[in-house]
Amino acid sequence: MARAGHAYPQVDARARGLMEGRVVSLARSLSVSRALEILRHAKARSALARSSTAALRSDLERAASWKLGHLRWTDLAYPRLPVLEARAGEIAVRRQLNRGAPCVLIRDGRRIVGMVEASAISRPAPSLSARLDRLHGPSAEGKLWVLRMAGKLGEDQGQAVFVVGGFVRDLLLGAGTFMPDLDLVVEGDGVAFGRRLAEETGGHLVVHAAFGTASLEGGLTPDGTPLGRVDIAGARGERYGLPGALPEVTPASIEEDLGRRDFSVNAMAVALSPSAWGRLHDPHGGERDVRERRLRILHPLSLAEDPTRIFRAARYVVRLGLRPDQGFHRALALALRLGPYPAMSGQRLVGEIELIMEEPDPWRVLALLLRWGAFRLWDAAYRSTRTSPSRLSKARALTRWARGAGVGLDATELALLALLFDQAKPVADRCLRRLAVRDPAARLLDAGPARQLARRVARASRMRPSQVAEAMRSTAPPVLLGAWLCGGPRARRRIEWFLAAGRGARPLSTGDDVMAAGVPRGPLVAQALCALRDLKLDGHVRTLEDEHVALDRWTRALTMKGDLR
């Protein structure tokens, strides 16, 4: 109870009272190392240049730890930050931060006296319980059941459990976009929690000990509905020793866990415990970014920290309709400039292409990455050529045709072929080495044989089907696909025919039938079957009886020549 006449401490609800640390003005030309030295000496949290451009000391320290002290400090700065007067109210500060600003500069007269970082302002935690309860359909109901079960188990064990990442983002985006898997984060031992959840669902738990994570597969609801895959992890912080390297992991709070993620739209969590069911944790303003379809990174070195985020960003732009903000494009330019990333394996880069090829419109994703210049991560000399976009368009047409014709294609191989076909051979070879692609797949990059094949099968206006098949039969699949990409209409039609029909043509007769006709066991049996196959391709035989007649004629001809005794 308040006491009359007693002096109570007052909270300054204005911008000045929200400021954290000092701001130091620096020349734009200074390096990261020099700027950091000045900030440490002044015990300041951020550096400031003109035009409302500022950098956080934490970002400069991250760059210095990666031996990037030679960069200009403004490479890591946020441009055109909002500026408020020191007497502005807290609501005005919150309004700017909710619009996606990483921080707000505070001015007293003409002088910038401090800043308010987004992480320093608590945000209201709206409830998404109504959205969760509106989920319907067998898959959605199974998800809802396992989420409630996970929350109850966690509360019984004294652990806070959250669903994070794509599920939360897609829940906010609306129905019809839900991811097939769930990602759960536990403030505590995620693997131990996963074992308990596996007992309740009857699923099989796969533990990834190196990362302290686990995956639950094969679980069922009480009514037998499959749960799909559920990934479980303890809340963790991450430290990247080198750009592109896998991070070092340490236990952390849910807020720290969300702060290590790639984009604000993925840095949200929903509480699952019964006492907090549906409460949204959104420390980085992801909910507003989802509403405004904005793709925003969490700090300027985010894409250099993990360059595979560039490929993930392109998937989100195409599939979810998100628009990268200015900070993303600045971070993209910096990340491409800082490459190559020797700590990042080629398998991770190929894995990103594999994920892209599972998207509803993978070729649009690749075209976007081409415009961004992202494939310079494979080799610094990679450049989009005049024909690169059309190669991707043709590859899309080829996959559409193959799907309709029931022809199986290696989508990742076709993507690599379309992306590297027009590169100079030294560049393509270096890209292959960077991606750790080994023979025989390396043949897909030699455009010479593909162009020769395209010319050969298109040269004659009249070729028997057996001649077309013979020209392609011993050709590696990548060369066939390359010939389709660079060939004209006639070459493409003939390659399509071969892939759909000519490649799998077989005679009705068997080897036993051939030997019963008097052909001795050995290479002549294979020759006879090949001859019957070619006759079938050219339409000269259609039935087994036709083949017997043709085989009899073939054996008589060999006997007359003395080749069959």
* CATH number for the domain harbouring residue 352: 1.10.3090.10
Does the bond joining 340 to the residue before it have cis omega, within 30 degrees of 0? yes
Whether residues 241 and 384 share a domain: the answer is no
d(CA 550, CA 224) in angstroms, rounded, equals: 59
Query: 365 lies in a domain?
Result: yes
Query: 451 lies in a domain?
Result: no
* Separation in Å, CA 204 to CA 137, 159, 200, 211, 536: 24, 22, 11, 18, 51
Whether residues 304 and 417 share a domain: the answer is yes
pLDDT digits (tens, 9 = 90+) for 309-359: 999 999 999 999 999 999 999 999 999 999 899 999 999 999 999 999 999
Spatial neighbors of 403 by CB under 8 A, at least 6 apart, are none
d(CA 436, CA 434) in angstroms, rounded, equals: 5
Whether residues 379 and 413 share a domain: the answer is yes
- Residue 103 is predicted with a pLDDT of 87
- Residue 8 is predicted with a pLDDT of 44
Using the 3D structure, point to which of 428, 445, 462 is the last residue of a domain: 445
Whether residues 244 and 332 share a domain: the answer is no
Query: 225 lies in a domain?
Result: yes
Q: Do 550 and 535 touch, CB atoms closer than 8 A?
A: yes
Query: 472 lies in a domain?
Result: no
Query: 204 lies in a domain?
Result: yes
Whether residues 200 and 115 share a domain: the answer is no
- Residue 2 is predicted with a pLDDT of 42
Q: What is the domain count for the chain?
A: 4
Whether residues 281 and 318 share a domain: the answer is no
Whether residues 339 and 238 share a domain: the answer is no
Beta strands per DSSP E along 57-211: 83-85, 103-108, 111-117, 161-164, 182-186, 204-208
Whether residues 323 and 273 share a domain: the answer is no
- Residue 179 is predicted with a pLDDT of 53
Whether residues 228 and 156 share a domain: the answer is yes
- Residue 226 is predicted with a pLDDT of 86
Q: State the first-to-last Cα distance of the chain, in angstroms, to the nearest integer.
A: 117
Spatial neighbors of 405 by CB under 8 A, at least 6 apart, are 496, 499, 500
d(CA 472, CA 478) in angstroms, rounded, equals: 12
Range of the domain at 539: 511-561
Output the pTM of the full model.
0.90
Query: 531 lies in a domain?
Result: yes
Using the 3D structure, point to which of 256, 274, 292 is the last residue of a domain: 292
Whether residues 113 and 162 share a domain: the answer is no
Query: 470 lies in a domain?
Result: no
Whether residues 116 and 175 share a domain: the answer is no
Q: Do 495 and 472 touch, CB atoms closer than 8 A?
A: yes
- Residue 270 is predicted with a pLDDT of 96
Which residues sit opposite 54 in a β-bridge? Answer: 48, 78
- Give the domain CATH number at 110: 3.10.580.10
Give pLDDT tens digits along the chain (565 positions).
444 454 544 455 788 888 877 888 999 999 999 999 999 998 888 888 777 889 999 999 999 999 999 999 999 999 889 999 999 998 899 888 877 788 899 999 888 888 888 877 777 778 999 988 888 766 788 889 999 999 999 999 999 999 998 999 999 988 554 555 799 999 999 999 999 999 999 999 999 887 789 999 998 888 888 888 999 999 999 999 999 998 888 999 999 999 999 999 999 999 999 999 999 999 888 999 999 999 999 999 999 999 999 999 999 999 999 999 999 999 999 999 998 999 999 999 999 999 999 999 999 999 999 999 999 999 999 999 999 999 999 999 999 999 999 999 999 999 999 999 989 989 998 999 999 987 555 555 667 888 899 999 888 788 899 999 999 998 888 889 999 999 999 999 999 999 999 999 999 999 998 888 888 888 888 998 999 999 999 999 999 999 899 888 888 887 777 666 5
Query: 466 lies in a domain?
Result: no
- Residue 316 is predicted with a pLDDT of 96
Q: Do 262 and 311 touch, CB atoms closer than 8 A?
A: no
pLDDT digits (tens, 9 = 90+) for 523-546: 888 998 999 999 999 999 999 999
- Give the domain CATH number at 138: 3.30.460.10
Using the 3D structure, point to which of 292, 320, 351 is the last residue of a domain: 292
Whether residues 276 and 418 share a domain: the answer is no
